[in-house]
Structure 1
Amino acid sequence: MEFEPNLDSKIQNTSKLSQFGKALIYTTGGLAVGVSIICIPFVSPAFRKVCLPYVPATTDQLAGVTAALKGRSGRLLDIGSGDGRIVFTAAKLGFKADGVELNPVLVYFSRVSALINRQHRETKFYRQNLWKFNLTPYNNIVIFGVEQMMKDFEKKILLEVKDGTVVVACRFPLPNMIPIETIGHGVDTIWKYVVKR
C-alpha cells in the first residue's frame, strides 16, 4: 500500500509531461506551417520558366533610375516592383507611379507602405503577371529584369507602347535596342532607351 501514492504521482507527472509535449508539438507545427506560407512566394519564382527573384534596388540603382528619368513626367510603371522602392521614388519626383508584381506578400507590403508614407494617392500596386499587364498607358517604364526575359520583354514593349516612351532597364540591357544613355557600372548599370519605330 505504500507504493500506491508513488505510482499515482508518477502517472500524474507522465500526464503533465504529455500535455506539455503535445503543446510543444502543436506550437512547432504551427510555426513550421507559418514560415512555409511566408516563404512560398519568395521560393516559387525558382520554379517558373523565367526565374525572377526578389532583389531590392540598391541606393546606387535608385540614383541611376532618378538620373535616367530627369526631365520626364507622366505615368511610370515599375515592372517587378518588389517592395516599391522605385515606385515611391518616382512618386516623389512627381510621376503618377504604378508597380506590377507577382509576389502577393510584396504587393501587400508595398500597399501598406504607401498608406504609411501617405503616397497612396500617387501610387498603385497590381498583383499581376507582367506578360499579361498592358503597358500602353505608360510613357515611362522601369524594369529590373533577368537576362533570359529581356528579349521577350523588348518584343512586348515594341508591340504595346507609344513612340517616345522611355524604358529604363536595370541590371540587364535590352538585346536589340540601342540605349541613348548608360549610367553606372557593374550590377548598378542602368540603360535608358527611347522607343522609336
Structure 2
Amino acid sequence: MSEYSAQASSEDKINGTVTGDNVRKRLGIIATCVVGGSLVALYAVAGPFVAPALRKICLPYVPATSVQVENVLKVLQQRSGSLVDIGSGDGRIVIAAAKRGFRAVGFELNPWLVWYSRYRAWKEGVHHSTSFYISDLWKVSFAQYSNVVIFGVPQMMEQLEDKLGKELQSSARVVACRFPFPSWVPDDMAGEGIDTVWVYDAKTFQSKVQINQTEK
C-alpha cells in the first residue's frame, strides 16, 4: 500500500468516527427532546386531573369507587327530586344519579374536570338531566336541593355542617362519603371501610340545633 493510500485510509477512519459521533449526538438530542416533550404533554393533560383544585380548604380529586357510587344510590333509592354533588370530580356520581331519575347537578372548581364531566354525561346520554358548574362550594347556596352528596375531607366537615344546616330545607337528605360529619348523628349508614356512606336527614340535625339554641 502506498503512503498516500495509507494516509487516505486513516483520514477516512477519523472522518467516519467523527461522523458517527455527530450522528449519535444528534440522535441523543432528538431523543431527549421527544422524551421531554412527551412528559410536558402528559403533565399538561393529566396534571389538572390529579392536582388538588384550589379551594378554601384543599379538596383533592380522588375518584369514587364503583362500590361507593352504589352505596350512595342505595341510601337514596327511596328519594326523588334534585341532587347535588359537592366537589363532583369527573361527574360519576351525578351521571349515575341521573340514570336513576334524579335531576343531578355537580359543582367543581377544577374546569378540566367539569369539561370532562360534561363530555361523559353527553357520552352516557344523560346530558339533558345533568348540569356541571365551575364554582367554589363556599360561594354556592344549596337551599334548592333535596339530596346532597359530599366527598369531603375532615378539615372542611365542620364548616360544611354549619353551611348546610342553615341552607337546607327540612326535607333534604345529606350523604357523606369517606368521612362523616363531626357533630351530626347519622340516621343511616351503608357499606364499610373506605366505601362507607353516612346518611343525615335535615330534619334531624336541624331539630338538634334548635334544641341546643333553646338550652343556651
TM-score bucket (shorter structure):
0.7 to 0.9
Match of 1:26 in 2: 33
Match of 1:185 in 2: 192
Match of 2:182 in 1: 175
One of 61, 73, 79 as aligned partner of 1:72: 79
| Counterpart secondary structure, 1:174 | coil
Match of 2:141 in 1: 134
- Mean Cα deviation higher: 167-176 or 183-192: 183-192
Structure 2 unaligned residues grouped into runs of 5+: 1-6, 207-216
Q: TM-score, normalised by structure 1?
A: 0.86
Separation in 2, partners of 1:93, 1:142: 15
* Residue type at the aligned position of 2:131: K
Q: Say if 2:196 is the partner of 1:162.
A: no
Report the count of equivalent residues.
Answer: 197
Distance apart, 1:82 and its partner CA: 2.0
Distance 1:186 1:10, change over 3 A: closer
Kindly report which structure 2 residues correspond to 1:46-195, keeping only aligned pairs within 5 A, or say none. 50-195=57-202
Describe the superposition over 1:98-154 as per-residue Cα deviations: whole angstroms up to 9, x where unpaired.
112233443232222112111111112223222223323322110111222110111
Describe the superposition over 1:51-103 as per-residue Cα deviations: whole angstroms up to 9, x where unpaired.
43333223332222112212222211111222222111110111111112233
Q: Percent identity?
A: 45
Distance apart, 1:187 and its partner CA: 2.2
Structure 1 or 2, whichever has the larger Rg, is 2
Kindly report which structure 2 residues correspond to 1:33-48, keeping only aligned pairs within 5 A, or say none. 33-41=40-48, 44-45=51-52
Distance 1:117 1:43, change over 3 A: closer
Separation in 2, partners of 1:99, 1:48: 16
Which is helix-richer, 1 or 2? 2
Structure 1 unaligned residues grouped into runs of 5+: none
